[in-house]
Copies of this chain bind each other. A is one copy, B any other.
Amino acid sequence: MKIVSIQLLNEEQPKYLQLFNSIKEQISQGEMKPGERLPAIRSLASQLGVNTSTVVNAYKQLESNSYITAKKGSGYFVSNTKTGKEDINFSSDLGLFKDTSVINFASATPHPSIFPIESFKACINEVLERDKGFAFGYDESNGYRPLRQSILDYFNREYSIFVENENYLQIVSGAQQGIDIIGKVLLNPGDYVVTETPTYDGAVAAFKSRGARIISVNMDKDGMDMEELEKKIRICKPKLIYVMSRYQNPTTVCYSEEKLKKLLLLAKENQLYIVEDDSMSELYFEKEKPMPLKALDIDNECVIYLKSFSKILMPGLRVGCMVIPNKLLSDFTKIKHTSDISSSGLIQRSLDLYFRSEKWEEHLQYMKEIYRGRFEVMLTALERLQKYGVKYEKPGGGLYFWVRLPRYLSAKLFYQKCKANGLVFIPSGIFYDNIHKNCDDYIRLSFASAGIDQISEGMAILEKCLQSKYQEE
List the interface of chain A (C-beta within 8 A of B).
Answer: 10-14, 16-17, 21, 28-29, 57, 86, 90, 93-94, 97, 109, 111-115, 117, 120-121, 124-125, 128, 132-141, 173-174, 176-177, 180, 184, 188-190, 202, 205-206, 209, 211, 314-318, 327, 331, 334-335, 337-347
- Once the chains bind, are B315 and A138 in contact (CB under 8 Å)? yes
Q: How many copies does the complex hold?
A: 2
Beyond the given pairs A11-B14, A111-B133, A318-B340, 19 more chain A to chain B contacts, judged by CB atoms under 8 angstroms and listed by A's residue number, are: A14-B14, A93-B138, A94-B138, A109-B138, A112-B132, A112-B133, A121-B125, A133-B314, A136-B316, A138-B316, A176-B340, A180-B340, A205-B337, A205-B338, A206-B339, A209-B335, A316-B342, A318-B344, A346-B347
Q: Which of B137, B209, B318, B327 has a CB less than 8 Å from the CB of A184?
A: B209
- Once the chains bind, are B94 and A190 in contact (CB under 8 Å)? no
| 4 nearest A-B residue pairs (beta carbon) | A112-B133, A136-B316, A136-B314, A115-B133
Q: Which residues from B are CB-within-8-Å of A202?
A: 337-338, 341
A191 CB → nearest B CB, Å? 8
Q: Which of B28, B97, B188 has a CB less than 8 Å from the CB of A137?
A: B97
Knowing A113-B133, A184-B209, A314-B133, say if A176 contacts B341 (CB, 8 Å).
Answer: yes
- Once the chains bind, are B14 and A12 in contact (CB under 8 Å)? yes
Residue from the set A21, A141, A176 with the largest chain B CB neighbour count within 10 Å: A176
Residue of B nearest to A342 (CB): B318
Q: Which residues from B are CB-within-8-Å of A314?
A: 133, 136-137
Q: Which residues from B are CB-within-8-Å of A10?
A: 190
Complex Cα–Cα for A344 and B345 (A): 12
- Once the chains bind, are A339 and B133 in contact (CB under 8 Å)? no
Complex Cα–Cα for A111 and B134 (A): 9
- Once the chains bind, are B339 and A318 in contact (CB under 8 Å)? no
Residue from the set A115, A189, A202 with the largest chain B CB neighbour count within 10 Å: A189
- Once the chains bind, are B140 and A94 in contact (CB under 8 Å)? yes
- Once the chains bind, are B173 and A340 in contact (CB under 8 Å)? yes
Residue of B nearest to A328 (CB): B28
Q: Which residues from B are CB-within-8-Å of A124?
A: 124, 128
Complex Cα–Cα for A135 and B315 (A): 10
A277 CB → nearest B CB, Å? 14
Q: Which of B206, B339, B342 has a CB less than 8 Å from the CB of A180?
A: B339
Q: Which residues from B are CB-within-8-Å of A346?
A: 316, 347
Knowing A125-B121, A318-B342, say if A12 contacts B190 (CB, 8 Å).
Answer: yes
Q: Which residues from B are CB-within-8-Å of A337?
A: 90, 176, 202, 205
- Once the chains bind, are A136 and B315 in contact (CB under 8 Å)? yes
Q: Which of B12, B17, B173 has a CB less than 8 Å from the CB of A57?
A: B12
Can you spell out 18 A-B residue pairs with CB atoms less than 8 angstroms apart?
Answer: A12-B14, A12-B16, A12-B17, A12-B190, A90-B141, A90-B337, A94-B140, A109-B138, A112-B132, A115-B136, A133-B314, A135-B316, A176-B340, A206-B339, A315-B341, A316-B344, A316-B345, A316-B346
Residue of B nearest to A97 (CB): B137
Residue of B nearest to A207 (CB): B338
Q: Which residues from B are CB-within-8-Å of A109?
A: 137-138
Complex Cα–Cα for A132 and B316 (A): 12
Q: Which of B16, B93, B117, B174 has a CB less than 8 Å from the CB of A128?
A: B117
Complex Cα–Cα for A124 and B127 (A): 13
Complex Cα–Cα for A202 and B180 (A): 18
- Once the chains bind, are A21 and B177 in contact (CB under 8 Å)? no
- Once the chains bind, are B133 and A117 in contact (CB under 8 Å)? yes
Knowing A12-B190, A138-B94, A209-B184, say if A340 contacts B340 (CB, 8 Å).
Answer: yes
Residue of B nearest to A345 (CB): B316
Knowing A16-B12, A115-B136, A121-B125, say if A340 contacts B190 (CB, 8 Å).
Answer: no
Complex Cα–Cα for A189 and B10 (A): 10
- Once the chains bind, are A14 and B16 in contact (CB under 8 Å)? no
Residue of B nearest to A449 (CB): B137
Complex Cα–Cα for A343 and B343 (A): 10
A200 CB → nearest B CB, Å? 12
A336 CB → nearest B CB, Å? 10
Complex Cα–Cα for A337 and B209 (A): 12
- Once the chains bind, are A13 and B190 in contact (CB under 8 Å)? yes
Q: Which residues from B are CB-within-8-Å of A338?
A: 176, 180, 202, 205-206, 209
